[in-house]
């Protein structure tokens, strides 16, 4: 933000001329803008016009009472800090004023120091109030934008299906065309299902599932299972799958489902964003207490300008030339969340025209074959066998 | 000669449905899958009406197209071409996009929500094309 700094403004409302005069002098000397008014009606007009940061008001005045001024000032702006001056300081009136929203009270007679102290405290309160209000507004805006975005993501496939059905109802078309459209509707519904599934996974990861469930998982086995499951899909895309990992060699502690989701995402991406005749290679090794897995494809590569955003929620490469591929924009975001929750890292290396490698590093768990008394899947069984 | 309608939307299924609808009602339909392509096709094919999706996952989205058509000199001859903005957002656009300059471009009778209400959409399109012709003559 730029522009000259405007000093805070204080409005004093008191029927006592001496108070108005002395308060005005003290406040001006403090470097504040000060305006005073002799009764509640004029005071409120002044507040409405000046929008001050703070109001100092006498409780006992002819005309509109100080107590009423208090509530009317807060109708103008609830963030204005109000200090009441009272000549008959009893706990009762002070409490009543505070209940009506006053920040503090100043019993008459008061010294310039007392006024300065209370004004400074009040202005600090005003500053903090405005700041938290700003944070709240920002948070509300973020939430609103997020909700709108999610609604848009969910509606897009739904709208496509709805529009197809609408037009099908309106027009007499050939059965062939209707068939084609029904197939498209099913595809879009599947897209919607995937989006919801991804959302639930994300909620599960964010809910701390990774921390709750930490069992020993054989990553080699997990990856081999996934590669086997996608054999057919890959063949249809004319992409070959190569496993550079073996069973019982890579162990980590974590949630089995989340780990499956992580490598499922990386492997399906490597297939989807590949080219006919291409290859997906998954390699694994243990180094310096970490399991390092690389998922490499031979696709078009990811332009450098997009790489910083690759793991962002809903980020998808928006190139005019980008292959139109179905996807929720959540896969890599979820993958990153899973990896971070496990205390690991994920990064991408990419070469235009040659492909990309996603590297996942996770803290290694002990190999059960090495067998040094850590809990694992088989642990309970071993115990019951009374080792 | 049938009226040419340019449909700018990044969802190929939505385009396919609307294209069939319009063709069956005697319109010629041109398709663009991004704001960028859409603007290029405006210059190239001089459509009689333009439909543009507001939220597209492309570099030039709906507002970019609208802005270009309204303010850029290249497109000056298309200022009277009926332009419909479409979106799956239910609220009125000025609530969703509280940007005064942009909102000015959107007339309530030119803002349509997805899925398109077919009779209403066809009626508005026909009316807009008739009015545009009136302006030219």
Q: What is the per-residue pLDDT across B59-104, written as a single tens digit (0 to 9) for each?
A: 567 778 888 888 889 999 998 899 998 888 766 555 555 444 454 5
Does the pLDDT at position B37 exceed 60?
A: yes
Residues of A in contact with B24 (CB under 8 A): 171
A339, exposed or middle or buried, with CB in 10 Å at 0-12, 13-18, 19+? Answer: buried
pLDDT of residue A93: 79
Site from B7, B8, B17, B23 to mutate, A interface, most A CB atoms within 10 angstroms: B17
Q: What percent of chain A has pLDDT over 70?
A: 88
Distance CA(A201)–CA(A144), nearest Å, equals: 22
Q: What percent of chain A has pLDDT over 90?
A: 45
Reported confidence tier of residue A302, pLDDT bands at 50, 70, 90: confident
Q: What is the mean pLDDT of chain A?
A: 84
Give backbone dihedrals phi and psi of A241, rounded to 5 degrees, phi first.
-110, 135
Q: Is A226 helix (H, G, I), strand (E, B) or coil?
A: helix
Where do runs of H (alpha helix) occur along chain A? 17-29, 40-50, 66-76, 91-99, 112-170, 175-206, 209-212, 219-229, 231-236, 256-272, 331-341, 379-384
pLDDT of residue A228: 93
Distance CA(A191)–CA(A189), nearest Å, equals: 5
| pLDDT tens-digit series, residues A305-353 | 888 778 877 677 655 445 556 667 778 888 898 898 888 999 999 988 8
Does the pLDDT at position A217 exceed 50?
A: yes
Residues of A in contact with B13 (CB under 8 A): 160-161, 163-164, 184, 188
Q: ipTM greater than 0.90, yes or no?
A: no
Does the pLDDT at position B57 exceed 80?
A: no
Across A37-46, A280-289, A360-369, least confident range: A360-369
Pairing state of beta strands A81-86 and A54-58?
Answer: parallel
Instruction: Yes or no: say if A157 and B12 are a contact pair by the CB < 8 Å rule.
Output: no
Where do runs of H (alpha helix) occur along chain B? 12-24, 35-45, 62-71, 93-96, 100-103, 118-136
Nearest residue on chain B to A185, alpha-carbon basis: B13
CB contact set of A154 (below 8 Å; sequence gap of 6+): A192, A195, A196
pLDDT of residue A72: 92
Q: Is the pTM of this model over 0.80?
A: no
The shortest C-alpha distance from A318 to chain B (Å) reads 5
CB contact set of A49 (below 8 Å; sequence gap of 6+): none
Q: What is the mean pLDDT of chain B?
A: 84
The shortest C-alpha distance from A78 to chain B (Å) reads 25
pLDDT, average across residues B96-114:
64
pLDDT of residue A381: 39
Nearest residue on chain A to B58, alpha-carbon basis: A318
CB contact set of A228 (below 8 Å; sequence gap of 6+): none
Task: State the DSSP code for A53.
Answer: S
Q: Count Cβ neighbours within 10 Å for each residue of B61-75 and write b for 16 or more, e otherwise.
A: bbbbbbbbbbeeeeb
Q: Which of B12, B24, B88 sits opposite A155 (nearest CB)?
A: B88
Q: Count CA atoms closer than 13 A to A173's CA, side-chain side.
A: 23
Residues of A in contact with B14 (CB under 8 A): 159-160, 163
pLDDT of residue A227: 93
What separation in angstroms does the CA of B5 have from each of A4, A167, A242, B18, B36? Answer: 53, 17, 49, 11, 17
CB contact set of A48 (below 8 Å; sequence gap of 6+): A76
Q: B residues 73-92 near A, CB within 8 Å?
A: 88-89
When comparing pLDDT for A258 and A91, which is higher? Answer: A258
């Amino acid at each position: 933000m730029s522009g000259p700094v405007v000093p805070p403004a204080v409005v004093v409302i008191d029927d006592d001329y001496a108070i108005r005069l002395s308060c005005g002098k003290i406040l001006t000397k403090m470097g504040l803008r000060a305006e005073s008014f002799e009764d509640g009606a004029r005071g409120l007009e002044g507040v409405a016009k000046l929008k001050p940061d703070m109001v100092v008001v006498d409780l006992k005045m002819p005309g509109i009472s100080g107590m009423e001024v208090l509530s009317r000032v807060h109708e103008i702006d609830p963030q204005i800090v109000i200090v009441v001056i009272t000549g008959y300081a009893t706990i009762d009136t002070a409490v009543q004023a505070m209940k009506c929203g006053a920040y503090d009270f100043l019993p008459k007679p008061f010294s310039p120091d007392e006024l300065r102290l209370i004004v400074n405290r009040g202005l600090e309160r005003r500053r903090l109030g405005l700041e938290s209000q700003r944070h709240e507004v920002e948070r509300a805006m973020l939430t609103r934008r997020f909700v709108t975005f999610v609604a848009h993501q969910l509606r897009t496939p739904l709208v496509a299906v709805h529009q197809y059905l609408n037009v099908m109802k309106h027009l007499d078309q050939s059965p062939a065309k209707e068939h084609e459209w029904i197939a498209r509707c099913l595809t879009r519904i599947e897209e919607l299902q995937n989006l919801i599934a991804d959302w639930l996974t994300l909620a599960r990861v964010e809910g701390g599932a990774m921390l709750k469930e930490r069992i020993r998982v054989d990553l080699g086995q997990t990856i081999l299972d996934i590669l086997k499951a996608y054999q057919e899909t890959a063949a249809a895309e004319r992409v070959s799958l190569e496993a550079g990992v073996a069973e019982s060699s890579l162990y980590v502690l974590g949630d089995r489902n989340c780990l499956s989701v992580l490598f499922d995402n990386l492997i399906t991406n490597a297939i989807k964003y590949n080219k006919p005749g291409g290859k997906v290679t998954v390699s694994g090794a243990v180094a310096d207490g970490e399991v390092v897995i690389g998922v490499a494809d031979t696709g078009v590569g990811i332009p450098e300008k997009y790489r910083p955003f690759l793991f962002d929620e809903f980020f998808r490469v928006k190139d005019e030339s980008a292959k139109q591929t179905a996807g929720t924009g959540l896969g890599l975001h979820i993958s990153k969340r899973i990896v971070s929750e496990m205390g690991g890292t994920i990064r991408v290396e990419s070469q235009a025209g040659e492909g990309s490698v996603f590297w996942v590093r996770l803290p290694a768990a002990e190999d059960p074959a090495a067998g040094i008394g850590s809990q694992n899947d088989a642990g309970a069984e071993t115990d019951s066998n009374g080792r | 000669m049938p009226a040419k309608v340019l449909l700018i939307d990044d969802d190929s299924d939505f385009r396919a449905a609307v294209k069939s609808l319009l063709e069956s009602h005697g319109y010629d339909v041109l398709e663009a899958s991004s704001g960028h392509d859409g603007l290029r096709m405006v210059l190239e094919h001089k459509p009689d009406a333009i439909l543009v999706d507001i939220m597209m996952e492309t570099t030039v989205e709906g507002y970019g197209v609208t802005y270009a058509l309204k303010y850029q000199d290249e497109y000056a001859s298309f200022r009277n071409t009926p332009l419909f903005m479409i979106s799956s957002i239910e609220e009125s656009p000025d609530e969703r996009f509280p940007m005064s300059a942009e909102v000015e471009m959107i007339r309530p009778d030119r803002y349509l929500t997805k899925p398109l209400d077919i009779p209403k959409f066809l009626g508005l399109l026909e009316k807009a094309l008739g009015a545009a012709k009136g302006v030219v003559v």
